[in-house]
Amino acid sequence: MRSVGTLYGIGVGPGDPDLITVKAAKILAAVRIVAHFRKRGAAGHAWSIARPHIPAEARELALEYPLTTEIPFTEDGYIGALSRFYSEASGNIRHLLEAGQDVALLSEGDPFFFGSFLHMYERLRGAVPIVVVPGVTGMSGCWTAAAAPIALGDDVLTVLPGTLGEDALAAKLQATDAAVIMKVGHNLPKIREALAAAGRLDEAILVERGTMEGERVVRLSEAGGATAYFSIVLLPGCKGRRIL
Amino acid sequence: MRSVGTLYGIGVGPGDPDLITVKAAKILAAVRIVAHFRKRGAAGHAWSIARPHIPAEARELALEYPLTTEIPFTEDGYIGALSRFYSEASGNIRHLLEAGQDVALLSEGDPFFFGSFLHMYERLRGAVPIVVVPGVTGMSGCWTAAAAPIALGDDVLTVLPGTLGEDALAAKLQATDAAVIMKVGHNLPKIREALAAAGRLDEAILVERGTMEGERVVRLSEAGGATAYFSIVLLPGCKGRRIL
């Protein structure tokens, strides 16, 4: 009788390969199949981060998103295509596991904090053994790169998607001590308006490619109108009154 | 001329020693003075986590909090004593750095996400070279331990201190998709009331000592009235509609 393999959900951290955990590095050194998501034609971001920890003899299983251009998340066609893609990809991985092989599936940042791994996890949990290895989040990498402690003492921290409407964003930004805004990209002009409406534009920091090559940290009020996909806006808490 | 040493602010992660980053492990293997905070008479939590990565010949610099019992954070005497303690401790570390020695200062979780490191950082930044190494946060360790993905898609995640008043907590819990409540301890009964008032008690998970020995994951509605200091309450987002 052949035993079922284990799926390892590996958080690879924010970008610097050395910001992967010791546990993740040990698993990658031992597992013979390493799966990761990538856009068609691209190297794969999680793969690039984990690369130095993956033995040359490991098999790469690239899971390629069906679409290369960004179309609205709410489009039915887009959601349907992605859903089929995740089902097919999880089926492929399940097949390998049931053949007795262990599989590591890479995840940028932390596997349980946003990201594609969750669509696979929800399809496979209960059916196969899964071990999740938490990672340093992209936002931790960004506030470290910006030398901007994010929260202290009794701070409230709110993590917001840049996809929210301007009014909703402004209301949330007004009601929190600290904030992290993800999914910035083409939402940057709207995010800037929301910060201004909340009276907090001067506090905001834009971090592009935190802990990665090409890292850029700039006051949002001095940034241009465009930014990269791997961008995060930070509104640090840690006001003076909380420093003892 | 003797050059000034570097202060390394090391995030040691949530509890499992293997959840430290490769970068942190490399620095700990090389630095000869390792400082950490602890309560008087206790082993020191960050020290215990990092221990397997610290060479036997490294010098331990234990920074002992002046008070062993928990008194309200708002008491003037408490704040004054802590403030003097941080100033003295940062002075000691600065003295070592100016003597040309590198010092690693351990921090549970991530150094820039709550915690005592920030009181030292604010005193020393600009005066000496500081390198901060981000870590896996305690909350990441907890949601991984609970097998509870915390956020997905366009979820809003709010990180709340359990020290907030019941009404403020309830309002914040009602206005967010996902939440993490820190500083639980003796605030547990109030937190339970706030969750009930927000209509979200059934979703809440209590995690004690996530990724550590003695880890316990329980539905908050079925938990007792008391909990350990290293406890976190999770309100996972990732509602079905966000799984594609």
Instruction: Sketch the domain layout of chain B as residue ranges.
Output: 7-136, 139-242
User: Cβ contact (<8 Å) for B122 and A23?
Assistant: no
Q: Which of residues 213-232 of B touch A (CB under 8 A)?
A: none
Q: Residue B242 — pLDDT band, cuts 50, 70, 90?
A: low
The tens digit of pLDDT for each residue in A108-141 reads 999 999 989 999 999 999 999 999 999 999 999 9
User: Cβ contact (<8 Å) for A243 and B157?
Assistant: no
CA distance A12 to A20: 5
Neighbours of B107 (CB within 10 A): 30
Query: Tell me, which fold does domain B139-242 have in CATH?
Result: 3.30.950
Residue B20 near chain A (CB below 8 Å): yes
Give the pLDDT mean for A203-223. Answer: 92
Q: How confident is the model at residue B241, as a pLDDT?
A: 60
Q: Which of residues 46-85 of A touch B (CB under 8 A)?
A: 53, 73, 79, 82-83
Q: Which of B111, B140, B238 sits opposite A137 (nearest CB)?
A: B140
Share of chain A above pLDDT 90, in %: 80
Q: How confident is the model at residue A224, as a pLDDT?
A: 80
Q: How confident is the model at residue B68, as a pLDDT?
A: 52
Cβ contacts of residue A138 below 8 Å, gap of 6+? Answer: A14, A15, A108, A109, A182, A210, A230, A232
CA distance A178 to A235: 5
Least confident of A60-69, B44-53, B64-73: B64-73
- Choose, out of A112, A238, A243, the residue to mutate when testing the contact with B (most B CBs < 10 Å): A112
CA distance B216 to chain A (A): 17
Is 90 exceeded by the pLDDT of residue B212? no
- Looking at domain A7-136, its CATH architecture is 3-Layer(aba) Sandwich (3.40)
Q: Which of residues 114-153 of B touch A (CB under 8 A)?
A: 114-115, 118-119, 121-122, 125, 132-137, 140-141, 143-144, 147-153
User: Cβ contact (<8 Å) for B164 and A144?
Assistant: no
For the beta sheet containing B157-161, the strands, ordered from the edge strand earlier in sequence to the opposite edge, are: A216-219, A205-208, A231-235, A178-182, A157-161, B157-161, B178-182, B231-235, B205-208, B216-219
- Chain A residues with CB-CB distance to B132 below 8 A: 144, 147
Which residue of chain A comes nearest to B85, CA vs CA? Answer: A244
- How far is CA B238 from each of CA A145, B181, B192, B195, rounded to the nearest angstrom? 28, 17, 21, 18
Predicted complex ipTM: 0.95
User: Cβ contact (<8 Å) for B110 and A136?
Assistant: yes
CA distance B231 to chain A (A): 16
Q: Which of A19, A113, A164 sits opposite B134 (nearest CB)?
A: A19
The reported pTM is 0.95
Q: How confident is the model at residue A72, as a pLDDT?
A: 58
